[in-house]
Structure 1
Amino acid sequence: MAATRAAGAVAVEGRLLRALAGLRLVVLLNAWGVGLWTLDGAARPAGVVACLVLMTVWTGVATWGYASPARRGPVLLGLDLAVALGVLLAGPWVKGPDFAATVPGFWIMAVLFAWAIHLRTAGGLVAGVVLAGVDLALRPDVTLTVYGNAFLLVVGGPVVGYLTGSLQQMADERDRAERAAATAAERARLARAVHDGTLQVLALVQRRAGELGPHATDLGRLAGEQERGLRRLIRAQDAVAAGGSPGAGGDGSPYGPYGPDGSALAPGEPVDVAALLASLGARPGVEVVLPGGVVPAPPVTAHELVAAVVACLDNVARHVGDDARAWVLLEDLGDEVAVSVRDEGPGIAEGRLDDAAAQGRLGVRESVCGRVADLGGTATLDTGRHGTTWRLAVPREHA
């Protein structure tokens, strides 16, 4: 049965049964204390001791048995209940027909909780009814105290079973949410890599095909069709993510770190953000302003931040012009690294970014904002007739 349950449910059950193992020991010691205390009044003292020894041995066996999910089955549960019923039924014989307290006493609650934890509400109810029924049947007189104990058995089992089921359901929901989040993060990372590479090249081929002569017209048309098809595919994947459907491979493990080209980055020494950004000055019309000195950051932070800057510059070239001027300013703020990217274009029209995202254009939503958000930072946009300025600020160390 354990193999068919979700990992979260099995983990919750295991933790509760480990706590129950401690409770078994406590109630066993209590049974020994009460048994020895009342031993002189028992009809057969040796029988009382024999029952206590059996309970001690079974406590060890049950603790070992419930420790493994593979052993938590009908056989172990049945034997657990049978031992409890056996020492209950031995009460009148070893203590005499007028006994006041059973030999196991509170020890039987461990059996009740084991059934409730493994079989939830139904198991707790069955075990509670059986144990309470046998206890009441053995009593020469059912006092108010005896009735109260029986009532607690019948009520307590289903309550513990219900709470166990609720905890297991919450654990399963948490695991599904983590898998969905991991899948969405991987999808976003792949979308950025596709946008920064394939989509940009296809768009460039479509725009420049006319300059290569009439023979390149078909090449431009095909590039445009492939670009649109790829964007539709990405939008479809985003729709699946929005619906909360986890994809294959989401096991809750981290997917990073990755570089701006989508390749995995191995952890290592800090990377100089200033050196990475300095190479962008070779682009036509791009001027890079750097602080005097090294600006170190973890490899993931440095490469993802620079990739976001590159995406901003690509948007400048695409929407303002290949010869448009742009300025990149790097600031070392101690615990934070900030980069500003400014151009002198006409600005971004209101609602244009939302329309672009709806059309599957991921330059701003994923390649810029998504990257910065994953680093725990902020992306601030200032746009208008004076031009457009992006300010990307990320913590130097991110979780």
Structure 2
Amino acid sequence: MVLRVVVLAAAVVVSLVADGGVGDWDRPVAGGVLLGVMTLWTAFATWAYRDAGRRGVALLVADLAVALAMLGLTPLVKGDGYAATIPGFWVMGALLAWGVRFRAPGGLVAGVLLAGTDLLLRETVVGANWANAFLLLIGGPIVGYVCGSLQQLTAERDEAQRAAATAAERARLARVVHDGVLQVLALVQRRGAEIGGEAAELGRLAGEQEEALRSLVRAQDGPDGGPVGTRDLAEALTRLGSRPGVEVAVPGHEVPLPARRATEVVAVVTEALDNAARHAPGARAWVLLEAWGGTVEVVVRDDGPGIADGRLEEAAAQGRLGVSQSIRGRAADLGGTAALTTGPTGTVWTLTVPGGDA
């Protein structure tokens, strides 16, 4: 904004001394009016560009149109054979604004229009005019390129800061989890195996959670905050077949998914199986994995009594987020869906998510 005031002052000074001064112009009164319009527009543009909400395409087009109008009216006001245009370098305000907003292409468009208008209106083009046109042609694109580069560097810096903060938080949580939760889970697993019976099943479940937590703590973060690499979903789901009363059917080939997505799918299936074991003790459950094209579908079915009408809404109101967050929330985050079918003959969850790198 300071630049606009500086180039306006320069334009007024040049107008007073170039081409014999205002008194030698063909229409000096009109010239004074144009200088007044430039002053008013400078004040308006300074106010308008301060608010990001006003910095739209309409303002930029109007800014460039005023600059072009000042150039176009110069021959009518000064007459033929003028050396300096009335706005002079005042047009830099619109040029740089286009470069900042539309980057290098926008700066080039504005430079071509301004330089082309100036050259086309002159009867005689001298070396200084070509030099000014060259400055206009390279000034806008250079400013646009620099702005784009700075924006990219800022985004990369913010991403690096987020990654560093995430790594520090993961290290802190790893210490907390190791000192507390993992040791308790390991103790429950060991004591459950020693006691036997139902305690052995509790120990097995504690062992599964211990392994999941250790994997989470060790996982390397990718750009989205999840583990990098790929994971065979078929192999991961097959492990769930070790649970009592659970049968898993998967394709005879690997179903590779990005590691984070595969981990989330397994978490959804695990939550569905846990719900069945918790609310329908003794019920059998089946897990079916299918993959075709760019889609992966996992069906989790049990032969329990089903979910009573309104039970899910009641659970969500009580703060129990197993279905709303662990199942449906995860599916939505993956860009997929989790459809529920329930009745007296059992419950069926159908999870559909994009496959591959989508």
TM over 0.5: yes
TM-score when scaled to structure 1?
0.52
Deviations 1:95-152 (A, max 9, x none): 1212111001110111111111100111111100000011001111100110111111
Tell me by how many angstroms 1:204 deviates.
Answer: 2.5
RMSD, aligned α-carbons? 2.1
> Is 1:23 aligned to residue 3 of structure 2?
yes
* Aligned counterpart, 1:245: 224
Offset of residue 216 of structure 1: 4.7
Shift of 1:187: 3.0
Match of 1:101 in 2: 84
Q: Secondary structure at the match of 1:100?
A: coil
2 CA distance for matches of 1:210 and 1:144?
93
- Give the Cα separation in 2 of the matches to 1:51 and 1:137: 20
Alpha-carbon spacing, 1:221–1:80, altered in 2? closer, same or farther (3 Å)? closer
Equivalent runs, 1:1-399 vs 2, <5 Å:
21-37=1-17, 38-209=21-192, 216-235=199-218, 238-239=219-220, 241=221, 243-246=222-225
Q: Distance in 1 between matches of 2:209 and 2:138?
A: 65
Which digits, 9 at most, give the CA deviation of each residue in 1:204-259, with x for residues without a partner?
A: 23344566677754444443333223212333xx22x1x33336xxxxxxxxxxxx
Offset at residue 173 of structure 1 (A): 1.6
Deviations 1:279-329 (A, max 9, x none): xxxxxxxxxxxxxxxxxxxxxxxxxxxxxxxxxxxxxxxxxxxxxxxxxxx
Report the Cα distance in structure 2 between the residues aligned to 1:148 and 1:171, rounded to whole angstroms: 34
* 1:31 CA drift (Å): 0.9
Q: Which runs of 5+ in 1 are unaligned?
A: 1-20, 248-399
Q: TM-score, normalised by structure 2?
A: 0.58
Amino acid at match of 2:5: L
Question: How many residue pairs get matched?
Answer: 223
Tell me which of the two structures has the higher relative contact order, counting C-alpha pairs closer than 8 angstroms and 6 or more residues apart. 1
- Percent identity between the aligned chains? 57
Instruction: Please tell me whether the aligned partners of residues 205 and 223 of structure 1 are also in contact (alpha carbons under 8 angstroms).
Output: yes
Cα shift at 1:163? 1.1
Segments of 4+ moved more than 6 angstroms: none
**What SS does structure 1 have at the residue aligned with 2:80?**
coil
Q: Secondary structure at the match of 1:99?
A: coil
Tell me, in whole angstroms, the C-alpha distance in 2 between the residues paired with 1:217 and 1:137: 90
SS at match of 1:109: helix
In structure 1, distance between residues paired with 2:198 and 2:85? 98
Instruction: State the secondary structure of the residue aligned to 2:66.
Output: helix
Does the aligned pair in 1 maintain the 2:174–2:217 contact within 8 Å?
yes
Separation in structure 2 between the aligned mates of residue 158 and residue 213 of structure 1, nearest angstrom: 75
Q: Which runs of 5+ in 2 are unaligned?
A: 227-358
Whole-angstrom distance in 1 between the partners of 2:77 and 2:191: 99
Distance 1:43 1:204 in 2: 98
CA change 1:210–1:142 in 2 (3 A) is closer
Q: Describe the shift of the 1:92–1:221 C-alpha distance in structure 2 as closer, same or farther (beyond 3 A).
A: closer
